[in-house]
């Protein structure tokens, strides 16, 4: 077995002695460098790593004792073994050198065999010390990792213990066991976070369904009086914008300004506020609130289709079958006799489909907004204000304005209630989209359907026909087959890294 080579620094002010000692070291199979003074010795040691120093005592400037004392005071150098070499064989010099921390004491006319033995023994102790220090450093790293795991904010892959786990001794076995247990803790923590996230997402969807599900029934109630959809949308969007501006101002979270932000707000305000609300109030006079609520479930299926086309969701056979059930749900309520008969009934159902279509596009666009541009409250306010701004000139120029006296005295409460529900639902929906993604948030369509059916029964005494029951059966079947993957995938972080609309 080939012996390890050491790197040895020879320190002597006398050139012949330096050359002689360096040659002797090389003959022993080690690498040797030499310097002529104590100052050079310290500078050289601090500049690169050495395994041993052969140090002359009698030198001008810093003598060997001073250099030795300086080496032993420096934490970075103190573990380098020093063999003091002197021309004088005096007991007091040897004693002083040993007291200062020298490894050994030799005379300059040392026997080569003795030099080999002393150098070999010193290097062996140095290498053993290096292994001991590395072992202790790895123990400290393992202890520090246990503190990270105890804090439950970690990723086992980033603990940096692979080199320790690769050891073949007990410390390596301890590291492997620790990593295995840490991995299990991490998996359980991640699963718990996913479950909590899914429960939070489910609660948000139920809350959305309860709030927004009331809007079709309220719309049906006021539109049966023959109001103009433009006038109604003007008032509801205007009141929503007023409410959101007040809340944003009080909380100091106003919408962004600037060209890009305004263009985003206008686009989302048109697709998520103006168009769907106009269609909602238009069809509410002709289509029962219960049917409107069921058709809204198409939003979920439309988002799935868009997400698959855009590569946000991987299409598969199970989801395709689920989408087919969702389509069957809509077709069943279009069958003559379900909400009327003949072509007229078909026409109004198709018109109602424009509402979830707009919402689906909005969901995808909101999910695509960059995080730095998406404060939930500010974004919602910007979108609602943009929708109201679009609606104002359209309503006034078309002569469809409902004058304040009539709006306040006759329809003030329904208008205000729709505006409040719409504003709250908008905030809730954008928060859900940004925290769980568009695909999961689109499941709100199912909750809205359930809430809409319940409110239509309570407020309008609407009944469930056989066609509607069949449509709901298809809806539930589709929902089972097209469940989202997960609401949110929590991003693990390490201590060094300290890893989230409108018209509702």
**503 vs 361: CA distance, rounded Å:** 12
Summarize the confidence of residues 105-113 as an average pLDDT.
82
Three-state DSSP class for residue 228: coil
> HSE on the CB side for 53, CA within 13 Å?
33
Position 71 scores a pLDDT of 92
Is residue 415 within 8 A of residue 430, CB to CB? The reply is no
Is residue 303 within 8 A of residue 439, CB to CB? The reply is yes
Model confidence at 11: pLDDT above 50: yes
Order of all β-strands in the sheet with 52-56 = 31-35, 7-11, 52-56, 82-86, 104-107
Phi, psi (degrees; rounded to nearest 5) at 13: -80, -15
**401 vs 394: CA distance, rounded Å:** 9
Position 489 scores a pLDDT of 41
Q: How confident is the model at residue 313 (pLDDT cuts 50, 70, 90)?
A: low
**442 vs 134: CA distance, rounded Å:** 55
The closest of 286, 282, 287 to 230, measured between CA atoms, is 282
Which segment, 171-175, 346-350, 367-371, 398-402, is predicted with the most confidence on average?
A: 398-402
Phi, psi (degrees; rounded to nearest 5) at 50: -130, 155
Supply the mean pLDDT for the chain: 80
Distance, C-alpha 34 to centroid of its chain: 56
Is residue 359 within 8 A of residue 272, CB to CB? The reply is yes
**49 vs 376: CA distance, rounded Å:** 57
pLDDT single digits (tens) 113-154:
888 888 888 888 888 888 888 888 888 877 777 777 666 566
**387 vs 234: CA distance, rounded Å:** 9
pLDDT single digits (tens) 436-457:
777 666 666 777 777 888 888 8
> HSE on the CB side for 390, CA within 13 Å?
23
Higher pLDDT, 382 or 428: 382
Domains of the chain with CATH codes: 7-131 (3.40.50.2300), 188-481 (no CATH)
The maximal CA–CA distance of the chain, rounded, in angstroms, is 122
The closest of 413, 414, 463 to 289, measured between CA atoms, is 463
Phi, psi (degrees; rounded to nearest 5) at 86: -135, 150
Three-state DSSP class for residue 84: strand
* pTM tops 0.85, yes or no: no
Category of 166 on φ-ψ map: left (φ > 0), alpha (ψ -120 to 50) or beta: alpha
Three-state DSSP class for residue 259: helix
Model confidence at 388: pLDDT above 80: yes
- As a three-state string, the secondary structure of 25-62 is HHHCCCEEEEECCHHHHHHHHHHCCCCEEEEECCCCCC
Is residue 288 within 8 A of residue 471, CB to CB? The reply is no
Higher pLDDT, 119 or 475: 119
Q: What is the DSSP letter of 83?
A: E
Count of CB atoms within 10 A of residue 474's CB? Answer: 21
Percentages helix, strand, coil for the chain (3-state, rounded to 5) are 70, 5, 25
**160 vs 137: CA distance, rounded Å:** 13
pLDDT single digits (tens) 203-258:
776 777 778 888 999 999 999 888 999 999 999 999 999 999 999 999 998 888 88
């Amino acid at each position: 077995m080939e012996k390890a080579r050491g790197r040895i620094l020879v320190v002597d002010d006398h050139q012949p002695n330096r050359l002689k000692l360096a040659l002797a070291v090389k003959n022993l199979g080690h690498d040797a460098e030499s310097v002529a003074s104590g100052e050079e010795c310290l500078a050289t040691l601090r500049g690169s790593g050495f395994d041993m120093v052969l140090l002359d005592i009698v030198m001008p400037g810093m003598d060997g004792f001073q250099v030795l004392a300086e080496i032993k005071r420096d934490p970075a150098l103190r573990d380098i073994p020093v063999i003091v070499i002197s021309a004088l064989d005096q007991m007091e010099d040897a004693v002083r050198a040993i007291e200062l921390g020298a490894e050994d004491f030799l005379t300059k006319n040392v026997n080569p065999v003795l030099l080999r033995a002393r150098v070999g023994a010193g290097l062996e102790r140095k290498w053993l010390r290096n292994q001991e220090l590395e072992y202790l450093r790895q123990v400290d790293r393992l202890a520090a990792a246990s503190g990270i795991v105890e804090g439950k904010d970690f990723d086992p892959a980033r603990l940096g213990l692979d080199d320790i786990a690769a050891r073949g001794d007990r410390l390596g076995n301890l590291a492997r066991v620790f990593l295995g247990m840490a991995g299990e803790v991490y998996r359980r923590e991640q699963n718990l976070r996913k479950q909590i996230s899914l429960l939070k997402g489910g609660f948000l969807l139920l809350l959305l369904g309860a709030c927004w599900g009331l809007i079709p029934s309220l719309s049906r109630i006021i539109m049966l009086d023959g109001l103009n959809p433009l006038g109604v949308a003007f008032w509801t969007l205007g009141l929503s914008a007023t409410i959101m501006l007040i809340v944003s101002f009080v909380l100091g979270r106003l919408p962004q300004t600037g060209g890009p932000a305004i263009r985003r707000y206008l686009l989302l305000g048109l697709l998520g506020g103006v168009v769907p609300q106009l269609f909602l109030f238009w069809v509410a006079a002709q289509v029962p609130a219960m049917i409107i609520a069921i058709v809204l479930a198409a939003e979920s299926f439309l988002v799935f289709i868009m997400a698959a086309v855009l590569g946000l969701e991987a299409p598969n056979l199970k989801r395709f079958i689920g989408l087919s059930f969702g389509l069957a749900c809509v077709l069943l309520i279009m069958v003559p006799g379900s909400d009327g008969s003949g072509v007229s009934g078909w026409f109004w159902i198709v018109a109602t489909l424009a509402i979830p279509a707009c919402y689906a596009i909005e969901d995808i666009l909101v999910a695509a907004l960059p995080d730095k541009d998406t404060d939930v409250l500010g974004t919602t306010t910007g979108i609602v204000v943009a929708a109201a701004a679009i609606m104002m000139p359209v309503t006034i120029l078309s002569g469809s304005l409902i004058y304040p006296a009539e709006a306040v005295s006759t329809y003030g409460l329904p208008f205000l209630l729709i505006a409040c529900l719409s504003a709250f639902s908008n905030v809730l929906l954008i928060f859900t989209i940004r925290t769980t993604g568009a695909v999961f948030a689109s499941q709100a369509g199912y909750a809205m359907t359930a809430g809409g059916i319940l409110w239509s029964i309570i407020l309008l005494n609407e009944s469930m026909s056989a066609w509607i029951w069949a449509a709901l059966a298809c809806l539930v079947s589709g929902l089972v087959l097209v469940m989202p993957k997960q609401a949110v995938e929590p991003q693990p972080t390490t201590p060094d890294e300290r890893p989230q609309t409108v018209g509702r």
